[in-house]
Amino acid sequence: MALTTIGSSSEAAVEASVAAALSGRRADVRGRAFELGLLASLLVCLILLGVLIASVLADGLPVYGDRGWEFLDGGLSRRPDEAGISQGLIGSMWIAVAVVVIAFPMGIGAAVYLEEYAPRNRITAFIELNIRNLAGVPSVVYGLLGLAIFVEAMSGFAGAEGVARRTLLAGGVTLAVLVLPIVIITTAEAIRAVPQSLREGAFGAGATRWEVIRTVVLPYAAPGIFTGALLSIARAVGEAAPLIVVGAITGFSSLGVGLNPGNVLDPSALPERFTAMPAVITAWAKLPNDEFNRINTAGAIIGMLVFVVLINAIAIVLRNHFEKKRTV
């Protein structure tokens, strides 16, 4: 109605003037520039990632082509054509186990207490802040903590001496402690995302606090908890600095060579000296000969990447499983 009062009386004229007014012709230069900038950032990231993967594959795939299983099955050898990553894979696997056994229950427990039981006051706020800060502490510092407590004190207490104290168990516990703050933070966030109305519904039906947590809070938070927890495994498996400080073997070793079920699942490796994938890669990359610092290193990187991708894949499958359960 207002448009007809602009001046023209005929319908055709109104239509023309409205059409002219509505067809915007201003070029949105800033908007376009912003969009292109965003696209450019994305492309740079993708290109960097692509170059990284391509160069690793180009250097490392021939190792698998030439030696295949032998490379996975071999150990820390002086000879590049005999060296393999079996000890590294086994060590990394046990580190993952240590994270699952130590960091998960402790971290999830601490988060549940903080979110569901602890009173909301300055002390808990202070504790939460510090846990966040702990998650940002450089990993080498955790390595020193591991060296002081788990290598020097605990392994010594257990009767081992000298370098024999630098055990797989000490390394695993160190990395479990390293990711503990991450597990706590992600779990706390997942619990915080549980709608208050669901908690009230459970309390209203006569549930105790523990029953509310068990039947409503944890099932609802499970996908988030799992995602965070399994990503923390990937983090622990990829850390090199704490391993070096704690004393993973980086030279040559025949300890526990061979990728077979008896070796992989044997817990008697725990009180022994150990190595793990990041330590193997670091050690090989420093060696002078090209077969080690380029070819075998790239091969080991591929092995570790596949290992980590497998863990992430398990994480995604588990998360989807729990998410499906949540909506049922």
Q: Which residues contact 142 (CB under 8 A, 6 or more apart)?
A: 174, 175, 177, 178, 242
61's tokens: 């795939």
280's tokens: 């193997």
Helices 277-286 and 297-327, axial angle in degrees (round to 10): 160
273 strand-pairing partners: 167
Applying CB under 8 A, the span of 94-102, 200-208, 282-290, 306-314 interacting with another protein comes to 200-208
* Least separation in angstroms between CB 323 and another protein: 10
208: contact with another protein by CB under 8 A: yes
- Exposed (0-12), middle (13-18) or buried (19+): which is 149, by Cβ within 10 Å? middle
202 vs 300 by CB, closer to another protein: 202
313: contact with another protein by CB under 8 A: no
- Residues touching another protein, count (CB under 8 A): 23
69 vs 210 by CB, closer to another protein: 210
140 vs 318 by CB, closer to another protein: 318
- Window 83 to 142, contacts with another protein (CB under 8 A): 119-120
200: contact with another protein by CB under 8 A: yes
C-alpha dist (Å) from residue 193 to 115, 202, 324? 11, 16, 17
Distance CA 318, CA 74 (A): 32
* Residue of 17, 124, 215, 312 interacting with another protein (CB under 8 A): 215
* Least separation in angstroms between CB 116 and another protein: 11
Give the three-state DSSP class for 265.
coil
Residue with the two structure tokens 């990829």: 238
* Residue of 24, 31, 206, 288 interacting with another protein (CB under 8 A): 206
Distance CA 223, CA 55 (A): 35
71 vs 220 by CB, closer to another protein: 220
Distance CA 163, CA 156 (A): 10
202: contact with another protein by CB under 8 A: yes
127 vs 231 by CB, closer to another protein: 127
- Residues making contact with another protein (CB under 8 A): 119-120, 195, 197-208, 211, 215-216, 219-220, 326-328
